[in-house]
Amino acid sequence: MRKLCYYLVFISLIFWNFLMAQNDSNPFFKEWKTPFQTPPFDEIKLEHYLPAFEEGMKVQKIAIDSILNSTDNPTFENTIEAMEISSEFLDRVDNVFFALNSSITNDQMQNIARKITPILTKHNDDINLNLKLFERVKKIYNKRSSLKLSSEQKTVLENYYIGFVRGGANLDESAKDKLRKLNEELSMLTLKFGENMLKETNAVGLTADNEDELAGLPPDVVKAATEMARSKDIQENFAFTLQKPSFIPFLQYAERRDLRERLFKAYINRCNNNNEFDNKKILSQIVSLRVKKANLLGYKTHADFVLERNMSKKPENVYKFLKEIWTPAVKRATNEAADMQAIIEREGKDFKLEPWDWSFYAEKLKKEKYSLDEEMIRPYFKMENVRQGVFDVASKLYGIQFIERKDIPVYHPDVKVFEVKEADGKHLGIFYSDYYPRDGKRSGAWSSTFRGQSNMKGKFVTPLVFNVGNFAKPTADKPSLMSLDEVNTLFHEFGHALHSLFANTNYPSAQWVPRDFVELPSQIMENWATEPQVLKMYAKHYETGKPMPQELMDKLLNASLFNQGFETVEYIAASILDMDWHTLTDTAQRDVPTFEKQSLTNIGLIPQIESRYQSTNFQHIFAGGYSAGYYSYLWAAVLDADAFNAITEKDLFDQKMAASFRKNVLSGGAAGDAMEAYKRFRGSEPKIDALLKKRGLN
């Protein structure tokens, strides 16, 4: 009876706050009448965010106070479940605002982000550092073995307990004050790092006045540069930005070596130009503060703090793993560089291959070895066809369906919405795709949710999932025609989307998985992208609709191991740079160029290749949640190579194995112990051999 009274009080408090806001015109304060209660983007205005954030924090504070003021003994229901529910309103606002701040931001949104970020940080610290609240959680945790909890509830309880400990709940008051200050400083610095990256990535990296400067570029690339110049109101006739769809084709095809060098250096020097968007001081401060925070919480380094909850567990395990693959990768990349240098010399030129030459001569080498270049396959990768291709793969594996919905509001005309259904027609979730660059969108590609799946107290909530990318944009007379790298990226991000769509837990926090496991669902999807059976499904010429000819498909498959040395080396170089920054044990602020140069020299990075990211533009680790975790993509690549072999051993679309993968990996089963979940699917731990073979490094 006391438990029932508690819930009635708790629910009435939430409902009271909700009713108090009903007369407000702010859509966040109302029930969304849209299909599946999707965000009403057509109603949400900038002025709605701050009041909604404030209300969300107020609602959660009242809920937390109700937990603290309860005279009942702490139980899973009146403490853990109550905390899970407490952030529902705030999550609704937070998910929408920060998603749009990454994909369609402007000065006003960035001002809101600067204002609300320290307030949210304080709000979260008020919860995480509340000793009385932690004591309730600890009492439940300490008697967990005697409680009748499901395996999922045990995982949720453990996540809360560990979260409090790692959040500083055990610190004394003086240390808590220091932690609060560190958290606030870090939140603002990482926000500023990302803002600077957005400005510099959207900048024009190169302009040209006449077509002679664009010798070698395909007509479509020239046309896109013309449209870019017009959209940027630039006096010159042609413009290339530092977004990948703009600068990569230039590096691949432009014959003017001096212009390739200029554009390449503009790209790698983003946020390293000693201007208002320079990130050197910011990232040096971030690294120093992370060391202070790790030390305060009892860890030697930031990497030790991060990796404790990852599959890798310790920094030395990450270094060992990376160096195992580094040696064969460098050997392969050195041979690739030698092949390109031979082309340079055959052409009668006397310069040494430099990083800004790699893409240009890689295209020549690919054409020489395989009679293949990017422009031959691009016409077969119309974006809409590629997207339908990944839908069809998911349908064949899992039986799900995708139905476009034009009655669901979107935040930009480029966004398309699809309802996802199970094979029996049951609603599974909503999928948004947003694939083209714009000035208000950060670089790269990512996946997240406007609303996660949950099933608390019998209320099943379906997920609202989105994928964002920066792929080749349609021109006035042609659709979006994607590169093979962009195709793989679309498949990759869709794998993340499936992970969110297939979530099937009662509690949202039960869906947490280690950072070095989370890339498995995404990377495994890339394997299907270039399978012949799949290419026949979606690789169709954008004008004729005819499928890719077998001869061209064979060339594409024969070239599958091409440039793998380069791709692996540039990636591992960035991963080790990340680890070197985050295994520092002192708080001295480093000179960034000196530190970076030493890091890459120590591992023997060959001069023809640059690290995939430079410190000043390494958004993954300084503004994206991957600090001491960029290695995760390669770690997951070992898992995905092994898992793909398991699923497709009998058939490319083995539905029985796919169902096992969905159950054990994608639906939340990995929250307790990721490796145990993987072994439930596979029967054993993965070995590195499958990855080395896949990349031709064995």
State the catalytic residues.
Answer: 493
Greatest alpha-carbon pair distance for the chain in Å reads 89
Where do the H-state alpha helices sit in 167-278?
173-201, 219-231, 244-253, 257-268
CB distance 497 to 525 below 8 Å: no
CB distance 29 to 40 below 8 Å: no
Select from 115, 134, 127 the least CA-distant residue to 57. Answer: 127
Cα dihedral 406/411/415/417 (nearest 10): -40
318, two tokens: 């990450």
Q: Secondary structure of 472-501 in the HEC alphabet?
A: CCCCCCCCCECCHHHHHHHHHHHHHHHHHH
499, two tokens: 């992970």
Place of tokens 């949950």: 454
CB distance 616 to 199 below 8 Å: no
CB distance 184 to 235 below 8 Å: no
Q: CA 487 to CA 495: how far, in whole Å?
A: 13
Going by the DSSP 8-state scheme, the letter that residue 381 receives in this structure is B
Q: CA 115 to CA 122: how far, in whole Å?
A: 12
Going by the DSSP 8-state scheme, the letter that residue 78 receives in this structure is I
CB distance 642 to 682 below 8 Å: yes
472, two tokens: 């080749």
Q: CA 90 to CA 53: how far, in whole Å?
A: 6
Q: CA 680 to CA 639: how far, in whole Å?
A: 13
User: For 97, what's the count of Cα atoms within 13 Å in the CB-facing half-sphere?
Assistant: 29
Which residues have C-beta within 8 Å of that of residue 254, sequence separation ≥ 6? 214, 215, 216, 217, 260, 263, 360
Cα dihedral 330/331/333/336 (nearest 10): 170
Q: Identity (one letter) of the amino acid at 208? A: A
Q: CA 452 to CA 372: how far, in whole Å?
A: 43
400, two tokens: 């799900």
Q: CA 86 to CA 119: how far, in whole Å?
A: 17
Question: 466 φ, ψ to 5°?
Answer: -135, 145
Distances in Å between the alpha carbon of 306 and those of 126, 278, 302? 22, 27, 6
